[in-house]
Structure formats: structure tokens, C-alpha cells
């Protein structure tokens, strides 16, 4: 994911520059390039007090370079940190106002897949509980699948088709997909890594090894 900065946005540029101005915060970004860590984990890995780690995490969060999420822990909650961008591009020349871009957004219900392959352990659930029968791949053809809010399968895939009207959108500059994935569901296991690959129009755009619940945002 790319972060674009311009000299025309001095406040945003200042925050990012300040966030990357210390060795501690750069070290945090390096660690988070491999996986998510809690504030306590970062403090232990860098060998600094937890209070120091927390204050530096706040600076990185304010600059938008990382995102944080509170998750249950054995004692209370822990703040998990995830890196938000892979690259930063800074335009130092004054730029004319860019051509106004139009955006098109659509939410695709997770149960509206057009093709799939599933193997037990598999199933689906909505806000009220399990939908249909678990561990029976044939149930994924049932019309009630459109109510699902979570799907799981040991191996397989789900294919979705998004509507696109070329008369309204002349040229695509970028697109973003966002979804939440987990190494196993229900009753996810942090020690059960899963490879998750995303294709767009038959093109493999990336594979991630998920070892915990996380939100994936794909940008192109």
C-alpha cells in the first residue's frame, strides 16, 4: 500500500517526517513489516520501557503509518500494532490541482459468491449463529448463503464478480479491496497459519500467511 505525500500538504508531511525522525520509531516500522506486534512486544524487542514504546506508537499512529487495535488478553486488553503502508512517495515540487477524481464504491455481501470450492471443516454463520449444516460443502449452494456474515473452509476458494459500467468510469486509476480474514474460524487458533491468495481477473496479486485475525486492505 502506497502513501502519497505532497509539499502542498505541509502538516501531513510534517507529521510523517517527525514520525520517522527517531531510531526507535524506524525500528518499530521495521519490526512491523514482518507481522503485527503488541506494544509490550515492541518494548521487549527494542528493549525500551513500555511507556516509551506506547508514546512512540502514538506518534506513528497519528501520522497514519500504523494502525492499532485493542484485543482481549489474559489480563484486560492489549494494543496490537500493524504497519499501514509499504512505501511512501513524496512530491517536493508544487503541483497544480489534480484533476478531480470520481470514486465508485460497492459493498459485496460475503455470501454473494458466484463460484466456490470448500472442504471440511467448512460452514457459514450470520449474526444469529450457524447457517445451514456445518462440514457439508453442498450446503454452500443453498440460497440462504446470501445471509452469511462469515465463511470458513479448510481449503478452497470463493469467487466474486463486481459490476462495472465503463460508460460511467472512463479510466480506472486505482482500486481497493478490504476484507477481514482469520487463520481459522470459528474458534480461531493463532498457531494455525493459513496461506490466503487474492486474484483479480485471474491475476495473482499477492499471498499472505495469516496467523491471527486481521483486516486486509488491498490497493492497486
Check residue 35 and give its pLDDT.
Answer: 87
Instruction: Tell me which of 1.10.10.10, 2.60.120.590, 3.10.580.10, 3.40.50.1820 is the CATH number of domain 2-91.
Output: 1.10.10.10
| pLDDT mean over 114-143 | 90
pLDDT at 76: 75
Q: What is the dihedral of CA 206, 209, 213, 214, to 10 degrees?
A: -30
Q: Are 68 and 79 in contact (CB under 8 A)?
A: yes
* Predicted model pTM: 0.53
Instruction: List 116's β-bridge partners, or say none.
Output: 158
State the Cα–Cα distance between residues 192 and 102, nearest whole angstrom. 41
Handedness of CA 135, 138, 142, 146 (dihedral sign): positive
What's the order of all strands across the beta sheet hosting 37-38? 37-38, 77-83, 66-72
How far is Cα 164 from Cα 176, in angstroms, rounded to an integer? Answer: 14
Cα 20 from Cα 30, distance rounded (Å)? 11
> What confidence category does residue 194 fall into, taking pLDDT thresholds of 50, 70 and 90?
confident
pLDDT category, 23, cuts 50, 70, 90? very high
pLDDT of residue 22: 94
Read off the pLDDT of each residue in 50-65 and give the average, rounded to a whole number. Answer: 93
H-helix or E-strand spanning residue 42? helix 39-46
d(CA 111, CA 180): 14
Q: With bands split at pLDDT 50, 70 and 90, how would you rate the model's confidence at 219? A: very low
Average pLDDT score, the chain = 82
Is the pLDDT assigned to residue 216 strictly greater than 70?
Answer: no
Domain boundaries, the chain: 2-91
What distance, in Å, lies between the first and last C-alpha atoms of the chain? Answer: 8
| Phi (first) and psi of residue 87, to 5 degrees | -140, 155
Residue with more model confidence, 176 or 20: 20
Amino acid at each position: 500500500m502506497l502513501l502519497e505525500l505532497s509539499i502542498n500538504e505541509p502538516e501531513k508531511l510534517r507529521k510523517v517526517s517527525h514520525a520517522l525522525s527517531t531510531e526507535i520509531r524506524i525500528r518499530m516500522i521495521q519490526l512491523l513489516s514482518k507481522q503485527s506486534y503488541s506494544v509490550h512486544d515492541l518494548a521487549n524487542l527494542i528493549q525500551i520501557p513500555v511507556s516509551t514504546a506506547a508514546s512512540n506508537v502514538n506518534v506513528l499512529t497519528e501520522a497514519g503509518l500504523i494502525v492499532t487495535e485493542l484485543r482481549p488478553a489474559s489480563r484486560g486488553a492489549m494494543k496490537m500494532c500493524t504497519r499501514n503502508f509499504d512505501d511512501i512517495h513524496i512530491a517536493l515540487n508544487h503541483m497544480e490541482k489534480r484533476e478531480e477524481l470520481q470514486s465508485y464504491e460497492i459493498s459485496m455481501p460475503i455470501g454473494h459468491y458466484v463460484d466456490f470450492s470448500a472442504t471440511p471443516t467448512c460452514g457459514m454463520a450470520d449474526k444469529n449463529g450457524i447457517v445451514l449444516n456445518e462440514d457439508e460443502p453442498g450446503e454452500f449452494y443453498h440460497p440462504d448463503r446470501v445471509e452469511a456474515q462469515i465463511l470458513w473452509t479448510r481449503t478452497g476458494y470463493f469467487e466474486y464478480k463486481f459490476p462495472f459500467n465503463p460508460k460511467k468510469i472512463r479510466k480506472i486509476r486505482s482500486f481497493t479491496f478490504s476484507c477481514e480474514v482469520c487463520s481459522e474460524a470459528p474458534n480461531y487458533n493463532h498457531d494455525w497459519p493459513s496461506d490466503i491468495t487474492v486474484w483479480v481477473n485471474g491475476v495473482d496479486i499477492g499471498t499472505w500467511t495469516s496467523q491471527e485475525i486481521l483486516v486486509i486492505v488491498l490497493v492497486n
